[in-house]
Amino acid sequence: MSVRQVGIVGVGHTRFGRFEGPFVEMLSQAAVEALDDAGIRTGEGHGVDQVFVATMGASMLNRQSGVASALVDTLNLRPAMAETVENGPASGASAVKLGYMAIASGMCDVVLVVGGEMMRTVSGWEATDFVATMLHPEAEYNYGLTLPTFAGMFTRLYMEKYGVEEKDLAIVSVKDHQNAMHNPVAHIQLVPDLYSITEDEDARIINPYVAEPLHVYDVCPVSDGAAAVVLCAMEAAGRFRKKPVRIAGVGQATDTHVVAERAVSTDLLAVRLAAQRAYRMAGLKPADIDVAELHDAFTILEIAESEEVGFFPRGEGHLAARRGDTRVGGKIPINTSGGLKAKGHPLGATGVSQIVELVRQLRGEAGGRQVEGAKAGLAVNFGGFGNNVVATILAREE
């Protein structure tokens, strides 16, 4: 069976932060923006065959299940097929992967993928607890272990092995916040001063520890938000308003559920394998990538992932950040959207949001954060503490 090529012809994105309104309304706003972007008119003849909705916590946080069915109805896309996809914080990229598969297989021509999360309906403690439910119940969750806990322990290992310093993490954070200032949908619209959050006598007050050695400015905020993309068969792309951006490669890999069981505690094996699979499928190598969105729920992850996907040698990601290689205008700009750190991290939305940013970059629509001449982009969406990772490569069609 031959596999059909798949492109993205529409993108939509709510402003991340706090959304006042029902969960499905938030999803709908992103969805309608993506449909409009593609030039799809709602109502009869819309042509959408399938809808995938990515969310990790709608059932737990918003007391709503069957979200995809609800979205299809409120958008009047009936009788399109509809499923809700849950893969932790990697739900968004998983949903895009499923959309890709639905079209590549020949089952569908047009798929709408919407990712969303409404997390600010609960307290910070509840949100932290909810996210921790993806950890192993007996060996991790019951101890009070959380994602920031594992990120803190991972950071210490990285510092001791590779010489990463707290200031390196802050450099990543400041860079991401600077990028977010050019992204109108980013949650945090401020740039911390590097000296003030690292060396100033009040630095520990402005930027206290969350999980040592990680500080507040090393950790993503809790955000509401939704993002959407319209996928189509490349052979059908001519009927849409925007030129398609092709999905060139998709890779996914899993690792141990229990973090302590990993053979090399500083490896993010699933990131490496997922990226390798995506490169192989796309026929590209790390040097061919012009822009990347890496899952930086914690600043250390941007550094470690930049090594695992092959941009920099092992243990040198922090040196690249120091040199400015990952800034817009640098060797390989990372998290031009502001990343999870500054744009925000509504879990189910994040993987879709990363792909929206790459589409905007490859179309040349990224405004003040545009990477000039970008032809290929890589997104890494990271579930659990790296136990389920999806990598997606997009390519601009000439």
Partner 1 sequence: MEPKMYAYQCTRCGELHHPRHFVCRKCGNRDFAQVPLEGEAALVTHTRVYNLPEGYMKPFLIFGIARFSNGLCVSGQLEADHPESGMKLKATVGVVKEGVGRDYYGFIFKGAD
Window 249-268: residues binding partner 1 (CB under 8 A): 258-261, 265
Stretch that binds partner 1, among 17-25, 117-125, 308-316, 330-338 (CB under 8 A): 117-125
Alpha-carbon dihedral of residues 184, 342, 60, 385, nearest 10 degrees? 140
- φ, ψ of residue 295 to 5 degrees: the values are -70, 90
Tell me whether residue 126 or residue 199 sits nearer to partner 1 (CB atom). 126
**Nearest distance from C-beta of residue 60 to partner 1, angstroms:** 12
Is residue 344 within 8 Å of residue 221, measured between CB atoms?
Answer: yes
CB of 20 or CB of 63, closer to partner 1: 63
Residue 113 binds partner 1, judged by CB under 8 A:
no
How far apart are CB 261 and partner 1 at their closest, in Å?
7
Among 72, 153, 231, 250, binds partner 1 (CB under 8 A): 153
Given 16, 19, 23, 154, the residue binding partner 1 (CB under 8 A): 154
CB-nearer residue toward partner 1: 203 or 328: 203
CB of residue 161 to partner 1, shortest distance in Å: 10
Given the complex with partner 1, which of 157 and 281 has the nearer CB atom?
Answer: 157
Q: Which stretch binds partner 1 (CB under 8 A): 98-106, 143-151, 309-317, 359-367?
A: 143-151
The candidate with the shortest Cα–Cα distance to 216, out of 173, 161, 184, is 173
> Is the CB of residue 337 less than 8 Å from the CB of residue 183?
yes
- Scored b (16 or more CB within 10 A) or e, 341-354 reads bbbbbbbbbbbbbb
Count of residues touching partner 1 (by CB under 8 A)? 37
What is 185-202 written as a DSSP string?
T-S------HHHHHTSTT
Using the structure block, give the residue that is written with the tokens 């119940």.
137
Which of residues 78, 123, 165, 372 is near partner 1 by CB under 8 A?
Answer: 123
**Of 209, 211, 16, which is closest to residue 132 (Cα–Cα)?**
211
Tell me whether strands 214-215 and 6-13 are parallel, antiparallel or unpaired.
unpaired
Q: How many other C-beta atoms can be found within 10 angstroms of the C-beta atom of residue 43?
A: 9
Q: Which of 59, 128, 189, 254 binds partner 1 (CB under 8 A)?
A: 128
Query: Residue from 32, 59, 83, 156 that binds partner 1 (CB under 8 A)?
Result: 156
Nearer to partner 1 by C-beta: 67 or 211? 211
* Comparison of 262 and 322: residue with beta carbon closer to partner 1: 262
The interface region with partner 1, picked from 7-15, 147-155, 180-188, 333-341 by CB under 8 A, is 147-155
Q: ω before 213 within 30° of 0 (cis)?
A: yes
Q: Map residue 228 onto helix, strand or coil.
A: strand
The C-alpha atoms of residue 47 and residue 108 are separated, in whole angstroms, by 10
- Quick one: 138 or 201, whose CB is closer to partner 1? 138
163 binds partner 1 (CB under 8 A): no
User: Can you say whether residue 364 is alpha, beta or left, with left for phi > 0 and alpha for psi between -120 and 50 degrees?
Assistant: left
**174-233 binders of partner 1 (CB under 8 A):** 208-214
Give yes or no for residue 129 binding partner 1 (CB under 8 A).
yes
Question: Are 271 and 235 spatial neighbours (Cβ–Cβ below 8 Å)?
Answer: no
Nearer to partner 1, 226 or 300 (CB): 300
Task: Choose the stretch contacting partner 1; rule: CB under 8 A; options: 72-80, 146-154, 289-297, 314-322.
Answer: 146-154
CA distance linking residue 390 with residue 22, whole number of Å: 29
**Sole binder of partner 1 in the list 50, 87, 94, 149 (CB under 8 A):** 149
Cβ atoms 112, 47 nearer than 8 A: no
Radius of gyration of the chain (CA): 20
Q: How far is the CB of 159 from partner 1 (least distance, A)?
A: 10
Using the rule CB under 8 A, is 148 a contact of partner 1?
yes
**Interacting residue ranges for partner 1, rule: CB under 8 A:** 123-126, 128-129, 132, 136, 138-140, 142-146, 148-149, 152-157, 160, 208-214, 258-261, 265
